[in-house]
Amino acid sequence: MSIRRLLPLGIFLWPVSVWPNPTECVHSPQARGRWLPGFDIHTDYEKKIPPSKLVEHELTVSNQVIAPDGYLTNGGGQWYRYLGRTIEANWGDTLRSSQVYEFRLMQYGTSCYHSHFSIQWAIKINGPSSMDYDVDQGPILMSDWYHADAFALYPTEILTPEAPIPGTNVMNGKGVFDCDPSEAPRCTGKHERHEIALKRGPHRDLNDFVPIQPYETDVLIVGIERYEILITADAEFTNGTNFWMHANYCDIGTWESRLGIIRYGALNTSDPYTPPVSEQHYGFGFQDPPPESLVPIVKRQVGKNMNSFDTPDYLRIGLQAWPNVSDPNSRIHTLLLTNRSICLDWSDPSLKKLTLDANPEFPPETSPVTLQLSDWELGVLPHPEQLHIKRCCHPSNHPRSVHPIHLHGHDYVILAQGEGPFPDDVVPNLDNPAKRDGYYI
Ligand SMILES: *[C@@H]1O[C@H](CO)[C@@H](O)[C@H](O)[C@H]1NC(C)=O
Ligand SMILES: *[C@@H]1O[C@H](CO)[C@@H](O)[C@H](O)[C@H]1NC(C)=O
Ligand SMILES: *[C@@H]1O[C@H](CO)[C@@H](O)[C@H](O)[C@H]1NC(C)=O
Ligand SMILES: *[C@@H]1O[C@H](CO)[C@@H](O)[C@H](O)[C@H]1NC(C)=O
């Protein structure tokens, strides 16, 4: 029997050349492109949203000592009470929590919510899919897991050229830290990994909240982005029916990558066979799939731009010595955006200013980037190495895992992307370019 499974993070994508024009209303394993009468995978979700129903999720936030990887750590957030809890609703619904967050689900797909303090959890907005599948395995989140909190890690971040390295990685809140309970009092000795059970047969994809034309790949680097993966469960059983799901701390080739387990048949619960480390599977840095691979199904033509590709319009990002910008040996650096280091007043958040204040003020030290909303806005985000402000900047000897900024919750298209100095003759792709809402720079 052919079984298709939805695995929103994984390795294999399988192409679908045609799918029936989804005009019927039934969403089913054979017709994932359909949704509700009048709504399907081709519906322009920026213009048309299904009728709303109110969905409420109650999350309890508390501080707990937890050991997701077998090592006791102070964990904030809603981890303990709701381990691995996914917020789930349908496209068009309205989500409310006991806080004041209430928002209409204008798009659909899988994403994550996080506090910038602790772990991230999944949010799953059901809607049509560009590929048919049989079984939805639910979201799989891979996270770095630190044994110290952000405040303890901060000195490493600002005083050394190295990034704080996580203690381990976890997949859906489970991981295995290499420690010995007889030597380390905080070591629990618990070894638990995220497991999924597959039956043989085919199994999906999308990116962010943007349905794309499915494509096939052997390797997918996942940063802040989300992907939906269709896997075909047709593995060879030469070395048993159990298989590792690997994920690496970016750029450290020797990092333990065995994170989760796929089992065909639940009876054999031994660890999978470990193949020799493949050179194909580590050390990519923060690379995204080529934007040409991410072709949106709902087509969009990018209109006339409001600004130019000219150098003065670059949104410059970089690191600057602090407090003396001219000191090449400075140990402390500040992050620059548009040539400035951002200084924000946390008690006066930007979103509050924009939504509640009658006359919001953004003084220069807040480094505002003003966009004209009447038309398209081009933004050139050069890598720090390309900034023409090198004399004041840290030479880029940071490990590749350290990205100066990431964007999420922004809605934009990628007109061009590449490595090396920004060329003068870049040709922007204005014809249905890749669309994103989360990105590492
Ligand atoms: C099975 O294990 C053998 C011996 O370690 C190895 O040579 C072979 O490539 C493995 N086969 C598969 C399909 O992983
Ligand atoms: C159980 O799985 C392991 C690894 O996948 C394999 O080496 C072993 O032979 C299997 N045991 C049985 C009884 O099938
Ligand atoms: C800043 O650093 C430069 C280069 O090391 C040095 O010449 C200058 O005196 C410093 N300025 C101050 C105020 O320390
Ligand atoms: C940023 O700094 C560079 C070099 O100092 C300068 O050429 C450029 O005009 C500045 N851009 C802005 C937007 O201030």
Question: Looking at ligand 1, which atom is closest to the CA of residue 239?
Answer: 1
> In the prediction, which pLDDT does 20 show?
42
Contact by Cβ (8 Å): 409, 437: yes
> In the prediction, which pLDDT does 370 show?
72
312 lines ligand 4 (CB under 6 A): yes
> In the prediction, which pLDDT does 3 show?
41
339 lines ligand 4 (CB under 6 A): yes
> In the prediction, which pLDDT does 39 show?
92
Angstrom CA distances, 432 to 293, 308, 427, stand at 12, 20, 14
The predicted model scores a pTM of: 0.71
Residues pairing with 40 in the sheet: 34
> In the prediction, which pLDDT does 395 show?
37
Residues with CB under 6 A from ligand 2: 240-242, 268, 270, 272-273
Question: Using CA positions, which residue lies closest to atom 6 of ligand 1?
Answer: 275
239 lines ligand 1 (CB under 6 A): yes
Which residue positions in the chain have pLDDT lower than 50? 1-23, 78-84, 203-207, 384-401
Question: Looking at ligand 2, which atom is closest to the CA of residue 243?
Answer: 5
Residues with CB under 6 A from ligand 3: 324, 326-327
> In the prediction, which pLDDT does 261 show?
92
> In the prediction, which pLDDT does 239 show?
93
Question: Looking at ligand 2, which atom is closest to the CA of residue 241?
Answer: 5
> In the prediction, which pLDDT does 4 show?
42
> In the prediction, which pLDDT does 432 show?
93
> In the prediction, which pLDDT does 50 show?
92
DSSP character string of 382-400: --GGG-TTGGGB--S-S-T
> In the prediction, which pLDDT does 97 show?
58
Mutate to test the pocket of ligand 3, among 325, 326, 391 (most ligand atoms within 8 A of CB): 326
> In the prediction, which pLDDT does 243 show?
92
Amino acid at 178: D
Mutate to test the pocket of ligand 1, among 237, 264, 273, 278 (most ligand atoms within 8 A of CB): 273
Question: Looking at ligand 4, which atom is closest to the CA of residue 338?
Answer: 13
> Which positions ≥6 away from 262 have C-beta within 8 Å?
195, 196, 197, 198, 242, 243, 244, 245, 272
Nearest to residue 143, comparing CAs of 112, 173, 179, 176? 173
> In the prediction, which pLDDT does 15 show?
28
388 lines ligand 4 (CB under 6 A): yes
* Dist. CA 278–CA 420, nearest whole Å: 27
